């Protein structure tokens, strides 16, 4: 297992934003992390990526604890936060080189070329980030998440606000990345789950209310669409 989550909780004052969740994720699979607004998805992702410490519980990323091996965890994970912080005044290549340097990547300029190609940024590669459309900014976000070739990718609503063409390109890219990495993607778009996810976790009010393969979940709710299943589980 590359991700093992054990009784992970995060409380903000009296609110249990994440309430003792446990789950596992394995390589070569894309896990959809679904839930309504405020369910606790982003909070969980911030804990898994060691950007926020849990109130209690633990998670291991490829055997490394988020509590005791924060730096190793950050090296193992590529993270695309919900609102990717990008430096608008930097050129794409300059920004990716800057991120790559923080990981101490050898042969960095080749690696930057590779990821630019991989995420489809080639036509825009000479622009400043601030000049890019939302979809291309998202690609820069993905490029910075994969530059160190992480084993685990955690993507928080990676396709929000994209037009249908960009959406389809980014989904194809994520699906390809998922072939040899463990990918967790948060979304409320059921077509996205249909298109790219193998496994599904539904979280509601901080608790896991479903954890199954997509096909088993559909079998369980005979004939229901993913939208209907989502509504039943989260209402
Ligand atoms: N830093 C914080 N301080 C206080 N409350 C917080 C903080 N971060 C998140 N919360 C609360 O925790 C709950 C879960 O938030 P979270 O952002 O994890 O939800 P989400 O499932 O990602 O929602 P969305 O789909 O809207 O992005 C919300 O009620 C939110 O207001």
pLDDT, tens only, 105-163? 999 999 999 999 999 899 999 999 999 988 889 899 999 999 999 999 999 998 877 78
Mutational pocket test of ligand 1: of 8, 9, 12, 34, the residue with most ligand atoms within 8 Å of the beta carbon: 12
**Ligand 1 pocket, residue 35 CB under 6 Å:** yes
The mean pLDDT of the chain is 93
Cα(116) to ligand 1 centroid in Å equals: 32
The finding on whether 135 has its CB within 6 A of some atom of ligand 1 is no
State the distance from the centre of ligand 1 to the C-alpha of 37, rounded, in angstroms. 8
Give which of 6, 10, 96 is closest to 51, Cα–Cα. 10
Range 166-193 average pLDDT: 90
Q: Is the CB of 187 under 6 A from ligand 1?
A: no
* Region 52-58 average pLDDT: 97
pLDDT of the residue at 44: 97
Predicted local confidence at residue 229, as pLDDT: 92
Supply the residue whose CA is at minimum distance from atom 3 of ligand 1.
12
Q: Considering its fold, how many domains does the chain have in total?
A: 1
**41 alpha-carbon distance from chain centroid:** 10
Q: Determine, yes or no, domain membership for 52.
A: yes
Nearest atom in ligand 1 to 39's CA: 21
CATH number for the domain harbouring residue 205:
3.40.50.300
pLDDT of residue 112: 97
Ligand 1 atom 19: residue of nearest CA: 38
Identify whether 120 is part of a domain.
no
- Find how far residue 55's CA is from the centre of its chain: 22
Which token pair is 123?
């036509």
Q: Is 53 in the pocket of ligand 1 (CB under 6 A)?
A: no
Q: Beta partners for 111? A: none
pLDDT, tens digit, for every residue of 14-41? 999 999 999 999 999 999 999 999 999 9
Does residue 146 sit within a domain? no
Residue to mutate, 42, 82, 83, 158, ligand 1, most ligand atoms under 8 Å from C-beta: 42
The minimum-distance atom of ligand 1 relative to the CA of 10 is 12
Percent of the chain with pLDDT over 90: 76
Q: pTM value?
A: 0.93
What pLDDT, on a 0 to 100 scale, did the predictor assign at position 189?
86
> How many Å apart are CA 86 and CA 66, to the nearest integer?
25
Nearest CA to ligand 1 atom 18: 40
In a domain, 204, yes or no: yes
> Is the beta carbon of 42 within 6 A of some atom in ligand 1?
yes
Q: Answer yes or no: is 200 within a domain.
A: yes
Domain that holds residue 33: 3-85+151-234
Q: For residues 204 and 67, what is the distance between their CA atoms, to the nearest angstrom?
A: 25
Between CA 135 and CA 85 the distance in angstroms is: 14
Confidence at residue 9, expressed as pLDDT on a 0 to 100 scale: 98
Backbone torsions φ then ψ of 139, nearest 5 degrees? -65, -35
| Three-state SS letters, the chain | CCEEEEEEEEEECCEEEEEEEEEEECCCCEEEEECCCCCCHHHHHHHHCCCCCCCEEEEEECCEECCCCHHHHHHHEEEECCCCCCCCCCEHHHHHHHHHHHCCCCCHHHHHHHHHHHCCCHHHCCCEHHHCCHHHHHHHHHHHHHCCCCCEEEEECCCCCCCHHHHHHHHHHHHHHCCCCEEEEEECCHHHHHHHCCEEEEEECCEEEEEEEHHHHHHHCCCCCHHHHHHHHHC
196 pLDDT band, cuts 50/70/90, is very high
Q: Does 108 reside within a domain?
A: no
**Residue 134 or 50, more confident:** 50
Q: What is the ipTM of this complex?
A: 0.97
pLDDT tens-digit series, residues 219-230: 998 878 889 999
């Amino acid at each position: 297992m590359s991700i093992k989550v054990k009784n992970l909780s995060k409380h903000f004052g009296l609110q249990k934003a994440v309430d003792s969740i446990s789950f596992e994720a394995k390589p070569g699979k894309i896990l959809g992390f679904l839930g309504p607004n405020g369910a606790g998805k982003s909070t969980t992702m911030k804990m898994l990526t060691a950007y926020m410490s849990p109130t209690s519980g633990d998670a291991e990323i490829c055997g490394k604890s988020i509590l005791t091996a924060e730096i190793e965890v950050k090296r193992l994970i590529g993270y695309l936060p919900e609102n990717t912080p990008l430096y608008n005044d930097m050129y794409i290549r300059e920004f990716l080189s800057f991120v790559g340097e923080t990981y101490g990547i050898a042969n960095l300029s080749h690696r930057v070329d590779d990821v630019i190609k991989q995420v489809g940024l080639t036509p825009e590669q000479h622009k400043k980030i601030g000049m890019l459309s939302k979809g291309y900014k998202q690609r820069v976000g993905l490029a910075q998440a994969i530059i160190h070739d992480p084993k685990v990718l955690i993507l928080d609503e990676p396709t929000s606000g994209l037009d249908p063409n960009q959406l389809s390109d980014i989904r194809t890219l994520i699906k390809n990345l998922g072939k040899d990495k463990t990918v967790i993607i948060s979304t409320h778009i059921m077509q996205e789950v249909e298109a790219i996810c193998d496994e599904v976790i539904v979280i509601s009010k901080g608790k896991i209310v479903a954890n199954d393969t997509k096909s088993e979940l559909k079998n369980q709710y005979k004939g229901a669409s993913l939208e209907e299943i989502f509504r039943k589980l989260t209402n």
